[in-house]
Structure 1
Amino acid sequence: MASLRYIVDHGGVITDAVSSQKWPGEAKVHVSITNWVKSPSENIGDFYLDGAPVEGINPKLQAGVTLPESFKLPQNRGKAFIGCQPTGDGFIVSDEVAADLIAAGEGQVVRRYVTSDDLADVVGAQPGRWIIDFGTMPLEGALRFPKSIKIVREKVRPHREGKERHFARLWWQFAWPRPEMRKALTSKSRYIISTLTGKRLLFAWASIDWCPSNKVGVFALDDDYSMGILCSNSFSAWAWNESATMKADLLFTPSTAFETFPWPFPSPEKREVVARAAQTLIERRQQIAQADLLGLTDLYNRVDEGAYAELVNLHNSLDAAVVACYGWPKEVARDRLERLRLLGDLNQSLGGRGHGATL
């Protein structure tokens, strides 16, 4: 949407738009349609997005305000990542093979492999598969695990040399092992994972010994306060505003939506309120999911239909606690557009001064 951004930044106003529709021809693509007025001199009337009246349309073809171009905030750098990309199904092993490797003393390189499907659809967001992960080990290190390296040599190396020559030199490693992510997680007791695509942005705790796939976002944060901020409707509003979309789905990019997010500067007491609210929410969510055998997608689909009022109340309490951390009026917790305006102002203030809240 860079061209629309240019139009709006130079005085244009988007008046009517279809955010996404199927191309009527043979190509299997979706397109967007916009109408805009260049430098309108008077009131231009109503705005319509996807046929519905809205108060305004931003360059990302979303209802609402057009915020200034966001600053990336230095304090957020090095905390959000995309998970590992193996490139080669041979790294993934069955439960039986994993058990054999662990029994042989090679558990150091055999890890649970968590994907977006696990996060969204599996009860407790538990990983369903195992993966051989040598990290950034040199080959001589990987050879200390003979059973595991034999599997990778037989099932990954031929593929790398035949089709993935760019990665053939380090055939025993993932194509993208994410060394910066691994370094950031070294001192953590656990970490946060998120979905990257879909109609919801979901977060959950991950065990430090899990290997995250490239289909999940990874956050090197292990405290309940940080989980509370990410699960709040303040962060959700910002993430949707700062991310791309495909049809009606979010395409969440941690480097964009997270690194620009202005964290609050709460007192210790307000910070603790958020932490307790987040802990209570996650624990209760887990209890419901276990009792009713639900993944997070199914659980929140039921919430949308009116189920689990208690969970809704816990989310509302968390949202109110986060708004209080910013020092905003409590009604802002229920006003998405006002939250976006305030967050945009804070980002500009912090980015212009070159500093922000410490996570």
Structure 2
Amino acid sequence: MATSNRLVANQGRSFIGSYVLGKGFILSPQQAEDLIQRDPRNKDVLFAYLNGEDLNSRPDCSASRWVINFHDWSEERARSYPEVFAIVERDVKPERLKNNNRQRREIWWRFTRPAVDLYRAISNLDRVLVVALVSRTVMPARVSSQQVLSHKIGVFALEGADHLAFLSSSIHSSWAWRNSSTMKADLNYSPSDVYETLPWPESVIELTAAGQALETTRCLIMENRRIGLTKLYNLVHDATIAASDITSLRGLHEEIDRMVADAYGWGELDLNYGFHSTRQGVRYAIDPVVQIEILDRLLELNHGQHDLEAANGVFHRKNRNNPKGWNEISAGSPEIPTPVDDVLF
């Protein structure tokens, strides 16, 4: 299979959440509320903690737990919140001191990967788009940016309804299945291999109203049925389900996919929506033959855009000093920011 290339145009917009490493950081909502009631300053270091399971299983995609977060602070600054620091010192430090990684032992009061670049990128956004990294659903949701997002969540520094619609399209999910590994029957979504390689159409602003309708409809169905994204889309892909709310949601996805195809200039394609057999089982989706055509076109666009970026002197390159293989943008393109790598603590 021909490989796709990471695109400079998509750099710095997709991330993986924080890797906490330490159950002692985790609190119940009641524990967090009690700490804040005793000292309102504790709100500086206590946050809702959203993981992939909550995102896909709770009707409002909300966090069920909270987390202590001392950011990238020094031990001295963290100790200025004595009651909270005492919890981490008691419940996290003993386990961290057993860790083979020296930095994890020495900087035990902080997350092992604080994802500084992520929170910097979303600092001016009220909401962000997120997706569970291990999932068969591959459906994004808009959630509050004022929380800690777990390493089981992919985060996009985007908040518009137009972006929600595009990332909810079959075009995005088909590209994700093509460019990601799988874990049993689930997709193991890789932001660097999916989002960073996906050539976007020139504009998606026309998808705004459809994205708003999708979000409103989906939230209402999940609230009424008391189900999360996974169970909702199990119903969408079940050919025996003909309930009006589910058929309405199917119709919205058809509309979004047609609009995305039009945005790429592919209006002549007959998407031939229906219940089709796929590697993931029977799915309500675009005809698999048409999906192949779409993937071929996306790959051609990817190669063309990558070649153009290289011709203009900007391209991804590996940083030899970075063992994780994070990519940087080459020198010669000062107008495009280089992302800050996370330090593994």
TM value normalised by structure 2: 0.80
Distance 1:164 1:207, change over 3 A: farther
1:73 aligns with 2:30: no
SS at match of 2:113: coil
- Cα deviation, residue 188, structure 1: 1.4
Partner residue in 2 for 1:169: 106
SS of the residue 1:144 aligns to: coil
**How far apart in 2 are the matches of 1:322 and 1:251?**
24
Once structures 1 and 2 are overlaid, which stretch shifts more, 281-290 or 195-204?
195-204
Q: Is 1:197 aligned to residue 120 of structure 2?
A: no
> Partners of 2:62 and 2:165 in 1: how far apart?
20
Is the Cα–Cα contact under 8 Å of residues 192 and 227 in structure 1 kept in the other structure?
Answer: yes
Q: 1:321 is aligned with what amino acid?
A: M
Aligned to 1:22: none
**Aligned counterpart, 2:26:** 92
Q: Which residue of 1 aligns with 2:261?
A: 323
Q: Give 1:282 deviation, angstroms.
A: 1.0
Q: Is the Cα contact below 8 Å between 1:197 and 1:251 reproduced in 2?
A: yes
Q: Distance in 1 between matches of 2:227 and 2:253?
A: 18
Q: Deviations over 1:286-336 (max 9, x none)?
A: 001001101111111111123410000001111111111111125254421
CA deviation after TM superposition for structure 1 residue 158, in Å = 1.1
Q: Corresponding residue for 2:319? A: none
Gaps of 5+ in 2: 272-285, 313-335, 337-345
Contact 2:236 2:247 in 1 (8 A): yes
Structure 2 residue aligned with 1:314: 252
Residue 95 of structure 2 corresponds to: 159
Listed one character per residue, the Cα deviations across residues 218-260 of structure 1 (whole Å, up to 9, x for unaligned) are: 1111111111111111111111101112333211111111110
> Residue type of the partner of 1:78?
G
- Where 1:193 maps in the other structure, the secondary structure is strand
- Select 2:301's aligned residue among 346, 349, 352: 346
The change in CA–CA distance for 1:232 and 1:152 in structure 2 (over 3 A counts) is same
SS at match of 2:257: helix
Q: Give distance in 1, aligned partners of 2:155 and 2:269.
A: 31
**SS of corresponding position for 1:168:** helix
CA contact (8 A) 1:320 1:330 kept: no
Q: Is the 8 A contact 1:332 1:339 kept in 2?
A: no
Q: CA offsets per residue over residues 259-292 of structure 1, 9 Å max, x none?
A: 10001103xxxx3331111111011000010011
**Does structure 2 retain, via aligned residues, the 8 Å contact 1:115–1:216?**
yes
Deviations 1:20-78 (A, max 9, x none): xxxxxxxxxxxxxxxxxxxxxxxxxxxxxxxxxxxxxxxxxxxxxx4x32111011111
Supply the distance in 2 between the matched residues of 1:164 and 1:295 (Cα, whole angstroms). Answer: 38
Residues 1:121 and 2:57 are matched in the alignment: yes
| More relative contact order, 1 or 2 (CA 8 Å, 6+ apart) | 2
1:349 positional shift: 0.6
C-alpha contact (below 8 Å) 1:224/1:278 kept by paired residues: yes
Normalised TM-score (structure 1) = 0.77
Structure 1 counterpart of 2:48: 112
Cα distance change on mapping 1:190 and 1:164 into 2, 3 Å: farther
Q: Does 1:208 align with 2:142?
A: no
The one-letter code sitting in structure 2 at the alignment partner of 1:338 is E
What letter is aligned with 2:120? K
Kindly indicate whether residue 185 of structure 2 is the aligned counterpart of residue 248 of structure 1: yes
Give the AA of the match of 2:191.
P
Choose from 37, 58, 70 the match for 1:134: 70
| Distance in 1 (alpha carbons) for counterparts of 2:268 and 2:210 | 16
Partner Cα separation in structure 2 for residue 261 and residue 165 of structure 1: 35
How far the C-alpha of 1:93 sits from its partner, in A, is 1.0
Aligned-partner SS, 2:269: helix
Q: Which residue of structure 1 lines up, in the alignment, with residue 324 of structure 2? A: none
Match of 2:213 among 276, 280, 296: 280
Among residues 150, 157, 168, which one is paired with 2:86 in the alignment?
A: 150
Q: Deviation at 1:164?
A: 5.1
Alpha-carbon shift at residue 101 of structure 1 (Å): 1.7
How far did residue 202 of structure 1 move? 2.0
Unaligned ranges ≥5, structure 1? 1-65
The question of whether the paired residues in 1 share the 8 Å contact of 2:29 and 2:64 is answered with no
Q: RMSD across aligned C-alpha pairs, in angstroms?
A: 1.7
